[in-house]
Amino acid sequence: MPGREGHIRIGISGWRYAGWRGVFYPKKLAQARELEFASRAVQTVEINGSHYSLQSLSSWRAWHEATPDGFIFSVKGPRYLTHMLRFRDETAIPAIANFFASGVLALDEKLGPFLWQFPPNFSFKPESFERFLELLPKDTQAAAALAQQHDTRVKEPWFEARRKRALRHAIEIRHPSFCTDAFVRLLRKYGAALVVSDSVADWPYAEDLTSDFMYLRLHGTETLYGGAYSDDALDGWTRRIQRWAAGGQVEDARLISTAAARRRASRDVYCYFDNDQKVQAPFDARRLMERLGVKPESGGRSEL
């Protein structure tokens, strides 16, 4: 008897782009309603603003209210941590506490994976990277406890965990030194997902299975953040996503480690289109959703 297939969620990286207005978004749609529109066209959105600055509690609450039941956000971790502090010393603890105290837990049941993206000049050092993985809270109660170590940079701290829920973390790498068995072993030890990062940039690309979910970022085919995915390319991603959701691995997988992944009956899959410069992301997301036979949680269909 076949096992259940994991939940598949296809979406976009960010939603507030001037070039999308009048193309993806209707011409007269108020900017304040763009998330409302986008969340009824795709299944998930990656929040990018959290990467650049601490967001306010009112923003986290507004995003929760603007989206339909069953919708999921992924949240990009602060670059202050990944690109500047780089988790090198004790200053990382109040910084990560500030992030979790800013109101992210107000997304409640709509809170999906956290994305931690490291820059191209950040190399793999096993001991320090394990310290980073140890810091990441594994559930909402642990996140709320960590958030209580915030400092005065958080003007309106909020860290209520209404119920205990597991938290997921995905790691995006951009330096070749990560292409080692030791890195994959660490991800598997802490249950973090390796981001499958597709782009024209000279970044590592790997499809190792390291967690109970997969996290894909499709950055474009012609330039970084530009270039639509062809029908053949989307057919290929459809095959991969279906196989991963069924708990397996594709035969032509590009792997870092030769060690076999833990067997699972299924895996959830999150896939985000980041080819947003020429308004290709939302349309490519919809084309992939059609191939996979998945629909937005609202059950409705936005006018595209």
Domains of the chain: 8-292 (3.20.20.410)
Contact 193, 219 (CB under 8 A): no
Q: Give the model confidence (pLDDT) of 18-46 as tens digits.
A: 999 999 999 999 999 999 999 999 999 99
Give the confidence band of 304 by pLDDT, cuts at 50, 70, 90.
very low
Contact 277, 223 (CB under 8 A): yes
Q: Give the model confidence (pLDDT) of 197-248 as tens digits.
A: 999 889 999 999 999 999 999 998 888 788 899 999 999 999 999 999 999 9
Query: What's the rounded Cα separation, in Å, for the pair 35 and 51?
Result: 18
Residue 250: HSE in the Cβ half-sphere, 13 Å Cα cutoff: 18
